[in-house]
Amino acid sequence: MNLAQAASGYRKVVEENRKLYNLVQDLKGSIRVYCRVRPAFGTVKKPSCVDCLDEGTMAVITPGKGGKDTRKNFTFNRVFGPSATQSLVYVDTQPLIRSVLDGYNVCIFAYGQTGSGKTFTMTGPDAFSEETMGVNYRSLNDLFEIQQQRRGMINYEVCVQMLEIYNEMVRDLLSADGASKKYPFYGYSCLFDIHLSLSVV
């Protein structure tokens, strides 16, 4: 078997794997909602008002009269408890990120009140390390690693947009001047959008 035949066989296997991989993503649904429970503030141990029941369900506990608590259950595609690491959160997001390289459009955003951990999940803490980096950096590292693996087969051009929408103001996080303008919504943080153009070599 010569080199051209081997390359052709490799491309065929890659194409078959890609189709199966994207079929799984389609079956899971094009819109997914994940919930991450932030650890409690401080060192004082207080009863939590949130109970992670399983990987897809959480309960909000509201104290009632006579010591009777009310529980409301909420279902998500995935629930991450207070002890979930950055890498664990990314594991569920990774298949969507990788589907970008096959022509799918992907947009990831974090939603919640101030101090709920949106920026931590999407970017990471100020004390940045490989273990603590958020979805944004892990996504780009993943995309560029696969891009290198496929060089010689496919040329990729990656465009990334990162926005923060807070207090009805939108900021371009990749802009040098940090320009902002009025925006009619609030509560979002670190909108992460990836656009890709590709050509087969």
Q: What is the pLDDT of residues 37-58, one digit of tens each?
A: 888 776 556 667 888 888 899 8
pLDDT exceeds 50 at position 93: yes
Class of the domain covering 85-201:
alpha beta
- pTM, full prediction: 0.71
Taking only the tens place, the pLDDT of each residue in 177-188 is: 655 554 444 444
Smallest CA-to-CA distance from 143 within 180, 189, 198 is with: 198
Q: What is the arithmetic mean of pLDDT over 26-41?
A: 80
Mean pLDDT for 159-163 is 75
Neighbouring residues of 131: CB distance < 8 A, sequence distance ≥ 6: 85, 86, 87
**Averaged pLDDT for residues 58-67:** 83
Higher pLDDT: 147 or 200? It is: 147
Q: Which residue has the higher pLDDT, 158 or 114?
A: 114
Q: Which residues lie across from 170 on neighbouring strands?
A: 165, 181
Pairing of strands 169-172, 180-182: antiparallel
Distance of CA 51 to the CA centre of its chain: 23
What is the rounded distance in angstroms from the CA atom of residue 89 to the CA atom of residue 180?
30
More reliable by pLDDT, 189 or 155: 155
Residues 190/122, Cβ–Cβ less than 8 Å:
yes
**Percent of the chain scoring above 70 in pLDDT:** 73
Quote the CA–CA distance of 143 and 23 in Å, as a whole number: 20
Query: Is the per-residue pLDDT at 201 higher than 50?
Result: no
The pLDDT tens digits for 107-142 are: 888 888 888 888 899 888 888 888 999 998 898 898
DSSP 64: -
Q: Which two tokens stand for residue 194?
A: 């990836």
What pLDDT, on a 0 to 100 scale, did the predictor assign at position 198? 47
R_g over Cα of the chain: 21
- Domain boundaries defined on the chain: 1-30, 33-83, 85-201
